[in-house]
Structure 1
Amino acid sequence: MDSRINTDISPYLSLFAAISYGITSMAMVFINKAVLMQYVHSMTLLTLQQLATTLLIYFGRVMGYTKAKGLNMATAKKLILVSIFYNANVAFALASLKGVNIPMYIALKRLTPLAVLIAGFCTGKERPSTQVTLSVLLTATGVIIAALGDFSFDLFGYSMALISVFFQTMYLVLVEKSGAEDGLSSVEIMFYNSFLSLPFLLFLIIATGEFPNSLSLLFAKSASLSFLVILLLSLVMGIVLNYTMFLCTIVNSALTTTIVGVLKGVGSTTLGFVILGGVQVHALNVTGLVINTAGGIWYSYAKYQLKKSKQPKLMSDVEAHRK
């Protein structure tokens, strides 16, 4: 994406994009958890979310509600690996939510910066600042302490969350390396990501044995109005979440999206102790989660400071080109 600041963007739009992403992202964790407490087939749920997104954008373009361009095979080939890693991340994240309580799930997902840091060392990337490194290590320490005090420890759920972190790291590194999303609108990125994921997800739900039992169970569960409402809400919110995430990144920056994600995590962790249950409060897990959250906030602050320190150099370069 273009690193220049777009002065034409209204500050109200920037604020709206950040707030809407934060609220949607926080709500999505609880909605998915509520669905999975009644319907365990997480792969099928993800497939339905991506199918709903694909159909909505396709018919929106056909009916003239969106100016998104049609499918381009050259662009699709560039984005195929990005889509696979993205969906693998979400699939394993949903699987982990079946056994892991929300505060611990959020803490585990905060290990992503550590994984990105390790990936950076392996690929010979520029060494991160001391503050970034220490904040990431503090976040990881918080996870270990919280896990020691998690009496509802679920090995499968923890494993799924850690695999999700791996795929999220691969997704972020691949996007950064390829720049495949350049030149695409947020709606177009959503369409390619959802469309390309469908064959991959269909293969997974068949290979894992979810299908066709998951479909018959879905029809049976849909007889319950409360479940049907939560399911439809999950499908709609899946679309809204992707859109607000891309919108926040485009009108603000990737850094803003990261900071909003951390602040969302603070709110979700707090609410996770009182909503949907499954959390046994203990001094160790509370201490660990506090340390983990502090590490996440420190990480965002360190990245903000790094970004801010680079801006004067960017401005001086611009001025030099003008002369």
Structure 2
Amino acid sequence: MEETLDDSSKTAMLPVSDPSRPDSFKGSAMTRRGAYAAISYMVCAVLLVMFNKAALSTYSFPCANVITLFQMVCSCSFLYAMRRWKMISFISGEPKTASDNSVGMIPIKTLVHTLPLALAYLLYMLATMESVRGVNVPMYTTLRRTTVVFTMIVEYILTRQKYSSPVVGSVALIVIGAFIAGSRDLSFDAYGYAVVFLANITTAVYLATISRLGKSGGLNSFGLMWCNGIICGPILLFWTFIRGDLELTINFPHLYAPGFQAVMLLSCIMAFFLNYFIFLNTTLNSAVTQTMCGNLKDFFTIGIGWVLFGGLPFDFLNVLGQFLGFFGSGLYAYVKLRGN
């Protein structure tokens, strides 16, 4: 990827993805900008899991879908304000001072083009949020580590993307480590495990869709986020209404507690930045790289989750499995940075 950018991108307050970037090949090396996007994603992901877990478990908030709805509303509000104040643009190469040519700030044709991405995003958000509830944090991150396998399969189906032997070997280490780490958790919740694997599948489809539309749709990261919000927001609002989640939220006993409100606010802020860095990391690097970044940040998620929320017992097999998983993630990062 060339390091030169057009004038509008040079003056942007935040970096945006480059849809004109050619497809990532199995031997492409990560740029410095791509590395920054990957690290920023990992920081936001760790914090978001902690805030969501605190709302759903510590405060026993019963409506995961409502948290997702709040996150969408906040994200669209941030994007709308920044676009109106000419701080960002939604279309790649468009000056930030350009006037809005439609009510939704995005042409209708472009919205239709991003509809598959928005639907994949909605399924990804709902499944991911629900998966946090029924599984302890260490086991959640262990099971989520197998997402990379689903991502590689989906990328092969959509783009016929193939990977080198070192990449496949690093993924195999991660999967083996995940099963070893989870072998002690014999009293598992079948529903919780099923939802986590469903979240893995939806995540793989979502990231692969970003990888394709992010390079062909003409939108930057902010534009893709905006389309997701205005398409999925009304759908999720209707869904939470017919399920009675909005009524449960109004009657929630800790709704006005300062601690709960602080957790919800921080969750919404982190969700905004997380979604931005997911788009940026996936379009600058690849869907598999984005998934591997999720594995690398698990070290901090597991450590903090163990201290704050408890969960999986400490034993040799669990430590061995976690070590293999982190070693596989580190091996992939090394191969990617070297461009082998």
- Pairing of 1:257-268 with structure 2 (within 5 A): 257=290, 260-268=293-301
Counterpart residue number, 2:285? 253
How many residues matched?
A: 301
Out of 306, 309, 315, the position equivalent to 1:273 is 306
Give the structure 1 partner of residue 143 of structure 2. 108
- Maintained 8 Å contact 1:43/1:91: yes
CA contact (8 A) 2:124 2:199 kept: yes
Asked if the contact 1:88/1:167 (under 8 Å) is kept, the reply is yes
Pick closer, same or farther for the CA change 1:33–1:125 going to 2, 3 Å.
Answer: same
For the 8 Å contact 2:174–2:328, the answer to whether it is kept is yes
After the TM superposition, which of the residue ranges 5-14 and 169-178 deviates more from structure 2? Answer: 5-14
| Contact 2:278-2:290 at 8 Å conserved across structures | yes
Q: Which residue of 1 aligns with 2:20?
A: none
- Quick one: distance in 1 between partners of 2:216 and 2:49? 26
Range with bigger deviation, 108-117 or 282-291: 282-291
**Per the alignment, in what secondary structure is the counterpart of residue 273 of structure 1?**
helix
Note closer, same or farther for the CA distance 1:284–1:205 as it changes in structure 2 (3 Å cut).
Answer: farther
Cα distance in 1 for partners of 2:83, 2:32 equals: 27
Query: In the alignment, which residue of structure 2 is the partner of 1:26?
Result: 46
Q: For 1:214, which of 234, 248, 251 is the aligned residue?
A: 248
| Equivalent-residue separation in structure 2 for 1:282 and 1:19 (angstroms) | 30
SS of the residue corresponding to residue 134 of structure 2 reads coil
3-state DSSP class of the match of 2:262?
helix
Q: How does 1:162-241 map to 2 (within 5 A)?
A: 162-179=197-214, 182-206=217-241, 209-218=243-252, 220-241=253-274
How far 1:47 sits from its partner (Å)? Answer: 0.9
Is the alpha carbon distance of 1:147 and 1:204 closer, same or farther for their aligned partners in structure 2, counting shifts above 3 Å? farther
Matches within 5 A, 1:42-121: 42-68=64-90, 70-120=105-155
* Residues 26, 268 of structure 1: 8 Å contact kept: yes
Give how far 1:158 is off: 1.2
Q: Which amino acid aligns with 1:294?
A: F
Q: Once structures 1 and 2 are overlaid, which stretch shifts more, 148-157 or 86-95?
A: 148-157
Higher mean alpha-carbon deviation, 4-13 vs 136-145, is at 4-13
- How far apart, CA to CA, are the structure 2 residues paired with 1:245 and 1:170? 13
Q: Measured at CA, do residues 121 and 82 of structure 1 come closer, stay the same or move farther in structure 2, by a change above 3 Å?
A: closer
Task: Indicate which of 152, 176, 179 corresponds to 1:144.
Answer: 179
Q: Which runs of 5+ in 1 are unaligned?
A: 310-323
Matches of 1:32 and 1:92, distance apart in 2: 13
Other-structure match for 1:6: 3
Q: Is 1:296 aligned with 2:329? A: yes
How big is each residue's C-alpha offset from its partner over 1:11-47, in whole Å with a ceiling of 9 and x where there is no partner? 9977765543332221111111111112131111101
Partner of 1:132: 167
| 1:153 partner SS | coil
Structure 1 residues 237, 292: closer, same or farther in 2, change over 3 A? same
Q: Take 1:258 and 1:19, find their aligned partners in 2: how far apart are those partners? A: 13
Q: Percent of counterpart pairs with the same letter?
A: 27
SS at match of 1:86: helix
Q: TM-score, normalised by structure 2?
A: 0.77
Where in structure 1 do 4 or more consecutive aligned residues deviate above 6 Å?
A: 9-15
Cα deviation for residue 50 of structure 1 reads: 0.5
Distance 1:170 1:221, change over 3 A: same
Is the 1:41–1:210 contact (alpha carbons within 8 Å) kept by the matching residues of 2?
A: no
Report if the CA contact (8 A) 1:149-1:285 is conserved.
yes
Measured in 1, the distance between the counterparts of 2:314 and 2:294 equals 24
Q: 1:148 to 1:186 in 2, by over 3 A?
A: same
Q: Could you tell me which residue of structure 2 aligns to residue 320 of structure 1? A: none
RMSD: 2.9
Counterparts of 1:48 and 1:55, CA distance in 2: 11
SS of structure 2 residue aligned to 1:149: coil
1:224-246 deviations in whole A, cap 9, x for unaligned? Answer: 11111111111111112223344
Q: 1:143 to 1:249 in 2, by over 3 A?
A: closer
